[in-house]
Amino acid sequence: MTTIEIEPGRLFIGGQWREAADGARTEVVDPSRGVVVTTVAEAGAADVDAAVRAAREAFDSGAWSGLSGRERGRILHRVAQLIRENADEIARLESLDVGKPISLCHAVDVTNAANDYEYFAALAHTLDGAVRDTPMNALAYTKREPLGVVAAITPFNFPLILAGSKIGPALAAGNTVVHKPADETPLSALYMARLLTEAGVPDGVVNVVTGTGPVAGEALLRHHGVDKVAFTGSTAIGRHVAGTAGEGLKPVTVELGGNAAHIVFEDADLEKAVGAIIKAFVFNTGQFCMGGPRLLVSRPVHTTLLGILADAVPGVPVGDPRDPGTVVGPMAGEKHLKKVEEYVDLARKEGGRIVCGGERLDLDGYYYKPTVIADLSNDSRVVQEEIFGPVLTVQPFDTEDEAVALANSTPYGLASGIQTSNLARAHRIADRLQAGIVWINDWAMLDPAVPFGGVKDSGFGREYGPEALAAYTRVKSVVVSLG
Ligand code: NAD
């Protein structure tokens, strides 16, 4: 077994590093080799309770909520700076934990996380209220308040970014947080606990409980001391999370699964579009909620585009995430690899034609070749369900109406994309797509100023933008008699 030094692999509660109350620990596997690289504490309900109490105490003390927005912003700026200063170590951890190519960790995970903290740092002092014009003999004004203790529950695929997309706005607004990272990928959350403390975030303001969903996640979700639940993960768990938070009358945001359509019209620049098409389905080894695994192609260019993809996709560098030239690393875990294998087998049974890929790589880790599948019907499970791997299905269409109908035909609605040189058509189709974000002539253009989130089974609420900050506050009205 190869071990690595990851200090300290314990829970972070009230500014202290602790073992779980019952001493339980869980293994962390490097998916590029399939070996255990370290262990972390596995929180039980008692540990979650301690974390929520610490967050409550920190909130009530005013040590964070009592700071001005500008002071909180200054500390969040320092967090962003520390992320940049420690970029190599964070990228190494994220790559080891998730199997992401190291170049992607630098260019996307670390860079975006720093940008996100910086963005919310800048927004921290924009939480103004308004004076309202009324016929009363009174001064009526509104102000925004933090909610209290936020439960942040995050998935395995972008551990650093999706933690920051919740902790950033939650802290900017003056809340305190208990973060439960995904069972499989806890390392960057523990590292960030250290950086947040170093930046000046007071003890108890951010707490990290590593552990499983059914035990630690469930305890956090149901805890009476939690004032808001911010969840990113699968639609199945998200439905349960939203229902449970609803019963507890807690505000909740759920960012869930996706299965986006990427529509290519005959007037698109195909040579340029092919880069976006490949990026859309192989980015993060296809473990991207906003990936584009369903390609819809105008019939006159369908065969030509399939030919271009058959030539280009096998050339995408797949392999060791430590190699700076690698574009596609392994799947993040064995169960994710098996799921992709099962879906590609199902595609064969459903009448799909494997254009390229269609098998795992002959390596020790959990690698799967980027795969393109044609000839599936729209109601096949492989088209309708979220595979969450480097698999692209390709379907032809004849009219704009048909393209829109196919794009909107799954239960999901997170992202969508259009390739066209016709500006009017681009806007016309964007209006009709059921998705939280629509990209035109590229894919995955993301920035903390641009909100994203789902419609339909992809959830509700928005991350990023001022909309995200607002979701971590509530409005209080104050009416002062002038009589
Ligand atoms: P998941 O739903 O299995 O787990 C997400 C988190 O929920 C984990 O921390 C898990 O431990 C926890 N959890 C599980 N059961 C729980 C319970 N009963 N109570 C409370 N918490 C519980 O998701 P995953 O496999 O880690 O992530 C992949 C999914 O996330 C995909 O569906 C993907 O599309 C989605 N995702 C969505 C977005 C978005 O912004 N919409 C972003 C990334 C990933």
What is the 3 state secondary structure string of 401-431?
A: HHHHHHHCCCCCCCEEEEECCCHHHHHHHHH
Where is average pLDDT lowest: 7-16, 199-208, 407-416? 7-16
Residue 185 alpha carbon to ligand 1 centre in Å: 12
Q: What are phi and psi of 374, to 5 degrees?
A: -110, 170
C-beta 211 within 6 A of ligand 1: no
Pure H helices in 106-234 = 111-123, 159-172, 187-199, 218-222
pLDDT digits over 278-300, tens only? 999 999 999 999 999 999 999 99
- Among candidate residues 390, 155, 191, the one with its CA nearest the CA of residue 277: 390
Ligand 1 near 256 CB (within 6 A): yes
H or E element in which residue 297 lies: strand 294-298
Confidence of residue 6 (pLDDT cuts 50, 70, 90): low
Atom from ligand 1 closest to the CA of residue 459: 41
For the stretch 67-88, pLDDT in tens is 999 999 999 999 999 999 999 9
Q: What is the pLDDT of residues 95-107, one digit of tens each?
A: 999 999 999 999 9
Distances (CA, A) of 2 to 6, 7, 210: 12, 16, 21
Two structure tokens written together for 27: 């293994």
Tell me, in angstroms, the distance from the centre of ligand 1 to residue 309's CA.
31
What average pLDDT does the structure give for the chain? 97
> Please, are residues 176 and 150 in contact by the beta-carbon 8 Å criterion?
yes
Mean pLDDT in residue range 215-219 = 98
For the cut 90, the answer to whether the pLDDT of residue 7 exceeds it is: no
Q: Is 42 in the pocket of ligand 1 (CB under 6 A)?
A: no
Which member of 42, 94, 255, 463 is catalytic? Answer: 255
Query: Degrees (nearest 5) of the Cα angle 463, 468, 469?
Result: 150
Amino acid letter, residue 172:
A
Confidence of residue 8 (pLDDT cuts 50, 70, 90): low
pLDDT, residue 5, reads 52
The pLDDT assigned to 1 comes to 41
Between the CA atoms of 394, 400, 401 and 402, what dihedral angle is there, to the nearest 10 degrees? -20
> Is the minimum distance from the CB of 255 to ligand 1 under 6 angstroms?
yes
Q: What atom in ligand 1 is closest to the CA of residue 458? A: 41
Please identify which residue in the block is written with the tokens 């995200």.
468
* pLDDT of residue 305 exceeding 90: yes
Instruction: Determine the pLDDT at residue 312.
Output: 98
Residue 414 CA, closest ligand 1 atom number? 41
Please state the rounded mean pLDDT for residues 407-411.
Answer: 98
CA distance 282 to 285: 5
Residue 3 has pLDDT above 50, yes or no: no
The pLDDT of 251-272, averaged and rounded, is 97
The full set of domains in the chain, from first to last, is 11-256+457-478 (3.40.605.10), 261-447 (3.40.309.10)
* Ligand 1 probe mutation, 178, 289, 467, most atoms within 8 A of CB: 289
pLDDT of residue 2: 45
| Beta carbons within 8 Å of 481's beta carbon, 6+ residues apart | 137, 138
Instruction: Give per-residue pLDDT as tens, 138-194.
Output: 999 999 999 999 999 999 999 999 999 999 999 999 999 999 999 999 999 999 999
Q: What is the mean pLDDT of residues 14-35?
A: 96
pTM of the model: 0.97
Q: Has residue 14 got a pLDDT over 60?
A: yes
Mean pLDDT of the 322-329 span: 97
User: Ligand 1 centroid to 52 CA: how many Å?
Assistant: 21
Contact 440, 262 (CB under 8 A): no
Catalytic residue among 118, 289, 356, 463: 289
Give residue 482 CA to ligand 1 midpoint distance, Å: 51
Annotation says 289 is catalytic? yes
Token digits for 445?
Answer: 């253009």
**Nearest CA residue ID for atom 23, ligand 1:** 233
